[in-house]
Structure formats: structure tokens, C-alpha cells
Copies of this chain bind each other. A is one copy, B any other.
Amino acid sequence: MAGSVLLPKPCLMRLPHYYRRLLQAMHEGQSIISSEELGEEAGVPAAQARKDLSYLGEFGRPGVGYDVYELAAHLEKVLGLNEPKKAILIGVGNLGRALASYPGFARYRLQIAAAFDVDPSKIGQRIGSIPVLPLEELETFIRQKDVRMAILAVPAPQAQSIADRLSAAGIRLIWNFAPVSLRVPEGVKVFNEDLAARLATLSFYLVQHSS
């Protein structure tokens, strides 16, 4: 294992926000930052920010604050933001296309090596520099390029069968945008970005607060 830092999940979710605040501080030429300022960005009290950062080691100086560059560098290391991360994209619909060209991804060194689709009219196209390959080549590609991560943006009915193929071919992490719960074997991690489910919870708040 690389760096066996074990973090509470809510803490991990906040680290990118602290990091973003650090980038802003750098941009503004600020070299020291307080837990108060970091917490504000993540929407938590200063004590929470300090506790979160304390999981990573001791970086702050009492009475002073945190060194912006030092902390940013450490967060980059812990989150692996500087490591190139190879991934493939499955499903070149509207959402798949949008993800393939999402500018935020390259900044964190996500490299989408190829996209896959069943539609013959899409095969051979390029989205930016990403080639669209036929779904039949999925397994070969994964094995040859040793890809560990897949972004799944196919329609719900196809998602499970593709997830099966991905798992069997050696994918360890599936970022799933299809509105379904996937079953995957031990050792494969699924992260769901379920926009339909999210909409349903938004709906609750909308209806709740209306008249």
C-alpha cells in the first residue's frame, strides 16, 4: 500500500475544499492561513478543520496558523493529485461527452485514455483528443493499458452488464453516473454520481418549503 492514511469519510470529502482554499490563498499571495479560513470554505467550524488536518500530521504552528504552500503540497500528496490517473469512459452520450471534456479533470491529472460506445456512428470519432472505440475492445484495452478506473455513463439498463465486464477485466474503481445500484465483486469500489436520486432529494426540499 502507498500511504496508509486512514481518514473518516466526511473528513476526506472536505480535504478538496481546504485544498481549493489554499490555491486561492496562493493566488492572492497569502502565505499563512488559519483553521478559521479553511473551515469557512468547507462550511465547518475551525475546530473541525483543525481536527481534519490533524489526521494528516502536525502542520500548523500554534499562535500562527498553517503554511499555505506546505499544507497544499501535503494535501496534493495525500490526495494523489499529482499522480497521473488513467481512466476510461464508457458511454458517449450527452453526459459522457460533457465528462470527457470537463476542464476540472485534467487539473487533477485525470487522463481519459479512451471512450467506448456501441453506436457504430460514434466509433472512430474523437472527443478532444480522446478516441471513441467499439465496446468489443473494452477488455483488451483495459488489460493492455493496465487501466484501473472507469467512468460509467451509459443508460441505466446497460450499466450492470458493463460493470460486470469492467470488474472481470481488472477495473478497481467505477465512477458510476448511471442511476442504478451496481453489484460488483469484492475489491471493486463504486462511487455513485446519481443525478436522478439527487433530484429526488432536491424535490423533497422544494415541495417542503413551498407554501
A104 touches B202 (CB 8 A): no
Complex contacts, A198 vs chain B, CB 8 Å: 175, 191, 193
Give chain A's interface residue range (CB within 8 Å of chain B): 35 or more
B108 touches A210 (CB 8 A): no
Contact residues of A between 53 and 100, Cβ < 8 Å to B? 78-81, 83, 85, 93-95, 97-99
B102 touches A95 (CB 8 A): yes
Indicate whether A191 sits within 8 Å of B196 (C-beta atoms), given known contacts A2-B210, A83-B207, A102-B95.
no
Contact string against B for A residues 1-35, beta-carbon threshold 8 Å, 1 for contact and 0 otherwise: 11111010000110111011000000000000000
Q: A201: CB under 8 A from chain B?
A: yes
Q: A132: CB under 8 A from chain B?
A: no
Q: State in angstroms the CA–CA spacing of A127 and B149 once bound together.
A: 31
| Further pairs besides A15-B201, A16-B197: 4, Cβ < 8 Å | A1-B209, A94-B97, A95-B98, A104-B195
Closest 4 CB pairs of A and B: A80-B207, A104-B196, A16-B200, A98-B98
